[in-house]
Amino acid sequence: MMKYEQLAKDIIENVGGKENVNSVVHCITRLRFKLKDESQANTEVLNNMDGVVTVRQSGGQYQVVIGNHVADVYKAVVAEGGFQTQKEDDGNDEEEKGSLLNRFIDLIAGIFTPILSVLVASGVLKGLNALFTATGLLKEESGTYQILNAIGDGLFYFLPIILGYTAMKKFGGTPFLGMVIGMALVYPDLENLQGSGDPLYTLFAGTMIESPVYIEFLGIPVILMSYSMSVIPIIISTFFAAKLENFFTKIIPAVVRMFLVPMLTMVIIIPLTFMIIGPIATWLSQLIGDGSVGLYELSPIIAGALLGGFWLVLVMFGLHWGLVPIAINNFSTVGQDPILALIFAHSFALAGALLAVLLITKNQNTKTLTPPAIVSAIFGVTEPGMYGIALPLKKPFIFTVISSAIGGALIGAFGTRGYEMAGLGLFQIPSFIHPENGFDFAIIGAIIAAVVALILAFVLTYFFGGVNQNTNDTQEEPSESTSNHETNSLTQEQIASPLKGKVVNLSDVEDTAFATGALGKGAAIEPTEGVVHSPVTGTVTALFPTKHAIGLTSDNGAEILIHIGLDTVQLEGEHFSTDLNQGDRVEKGQLLLSFDKDGIEKDGYIITTPVVISNHDNYELSITDQPDVTTQDVLLEVTPK
């Protein structure tokens, strides 16, 4: 966690300081802040920060996308800000702000995000166990199967207890009180009463909600339900429990408040849940489950195209959280779910688009970022590739959405459904195994759909993706005059930043020759990465033997000096590497050289990098006003005098 301390400090500072943070949680790839005032956050700085993929503001949350290391960054953020001592949504005033949709999405995310990792892990184990039995590797009677099943199924069976904690915390109540409510709902003796003998009588006989009554509470009939794996009953119950607990806290004297408040809350809410809240919520759950499956059956192909195509868009805005609880509810009420099955192909479509980008891009930074993003996408984690590569390039994202829609339509046509809550990507495949039929054509159809989506996204991106257009990846082929490196006259030109980092005034550089402008006018960069890209298309006119500095002359006549660090000539080439030679031609955005940033600083040298125009006397010079830049940003603009 030590290596994330500085990143955590920078993130907290740029979300407005810890005083501006109400709460922070994390999911698979992002930190989800609830801020008192989002206008205090410096989104531009965060977007350009090394270690941050992007920032999204949605669902009443300020989401900082980190990627696969989010859990480690979260720990560092919590430690740095002391957020572990704060109640999430403390005060609940912020809950009243924002649209009804934002508040709903925030509620669902707040309840399910804390358990997402173990929820997915348990689902993957259940899927693998189903795979082992379907292939004959394990028998259901074996001890190995039983133990693996207990590991994978335990969380789902006791889900009301886990949700009792997170939901009660979200509603501002005591989390352990919510757990006790969940424990009562899955109490074995009460669950075993159902069907154990003849009922006392039957309520609502002849209707859709006909219910046998086996016990009464104070003479009032109790309709027993199976609450294991249920979602909606515990959420509604804890909502009212939090309100009731808050009421008793206000009116009961402090001397007896510690035990009397939870006791009165439990003795009122738990019977009410069994008699009223639970049955109504269960019927509602069944209605939602039957309704979602019914909509799917109306037109599986259209449902697949819409849900598969729009899933990544929903993820962008955090709106997918509205569908996740419905999917979990479907598993508990109808034993299957079409929602998560229909979106199976989306991560493979993204992987196909990213593979095409990797093969055709000329941007070295993109080539470095793409391979791990492809691996993440194959295993269902799409944010790094989506935010870091596909969205900035635009067309690859569009082709991913189109391919995902076609993949979803195929999944609908094959009738594929999920029978276990599982992970995404490759880990989702075992969840398609039918509990009775085992491997059937539906699971083969899902794999076919994923392959089709991957290939289609690859082909579309490869031939029509425009990966090297409108970026610093390439430049138009030089004209005959510039190919001979001849420039008849100086012209106006934009000089890109050769490094990613913080912009520093040249006068603040701790080197008199640069600070006074004796070596040229320009700016300096505090780099966050150890790579230098060409800011122009032109020629290498100077390359020091120590490789710590490089001089370029652009095709338009600007002479540029890039000096990595101060006094780094004394390193005699240590920590620097390049394959270029003086006289080589370079394209804008091309990798020039690399350096070990940490090694240079460890040896006691300042890493501040001046970027100056040596023939500045011929130009009027303007410098960017951005505090931070990437290699695709304009650092300097020169206009001939």
The DSSP-derived string for 66-133 is --TTHHHHHHHHHHHHTGGGSPTTTTSTGGGSS-HHHHHHHHHHHHHGGGHHHHHHHHHHHHHHHHHH
pLDDT at residue number 365: 65
Q: Can you tell me which residue has the tokens 């009792």?
A: 164
Of the pLDDT bands very low, low, confident and very high (cuts 50, 70, 90), residue 234 is: very high
For residue 434, the model assigns a pLDDT of 87
> H-type helices in 415-526, by residue range?
441-464, 480-483, 512-515
**Cα–Cα dist 488/408, whole Å:** 57
Cα 54 off chain centre by: 9
Q: How do strand 634-640 and strand 493-496 relate by DSSP bridges?
A: antiparallel
Radius of gyration over alpha carbons of the chain, in Å? 30
Fold of 2-98: Gyrase A; domain 2 (3.30.1360)
- Mean pLDDT in residue range 568-577: 82
Given a cut of 80, whether residue 152 has pLDDT beyond it is yes
Selecting among 12, 27, 324, 525, the annotated active-site residue is: 27
Identify the CATH class of 490-640: mainly beta
Please report, as a single letter, which amino acid is at residue 244. Answer: L
State the amino acid at position 345 in one-letter form.
Answer: A
Residue type, 252: I
Tokens found for residue 538: 């032109």
Instruction: Label the pairing between strands 591-595 and 215-217.
Output: unpaired
The torsion angle over the Cα atoms of residues 196, 199, 205 and 211, rounded to 10 degrees, is -50
2-98 and 490-640, same CATH topology: no
Instruction: For residue 100, name the pLDDT band (cuts at 50, 70, 90).
Output: low
For the chain, domain boundaries: 2-98, 158-294, 300-464, 490-640
| pLDDT at residue number 436 | 82
Q: Do 18 and 9 touch, CB atoms closer than 8 A? A: no
Cβ 403 vs Cβ 349: under 8 Å: yes
- pLDDT at 344 (0 to 100): 94
Q: Is the pTM of this model over 0.75?
A: no
Is the pLDDT confidence value at 76 over 70? yes
Q: So what's the pLDDT on residue 2?
A: 55
State phi, psi for 106 to the nearest 5 degrees: -65, -40
CA atoms within 13 A on the CB side of 409: 12
Mean residue pLDDT of the chain comes to 83
Concerning whether 486 is annotated as a catalytic residue, the answer is no
- Local confidence band at 205 (pLDDT 50, 70, 90 cut-offs): confident
Which residues does 215 contact at the CB level (< 8 Å), separation at least 6?
A: 193, 200, 222, 224
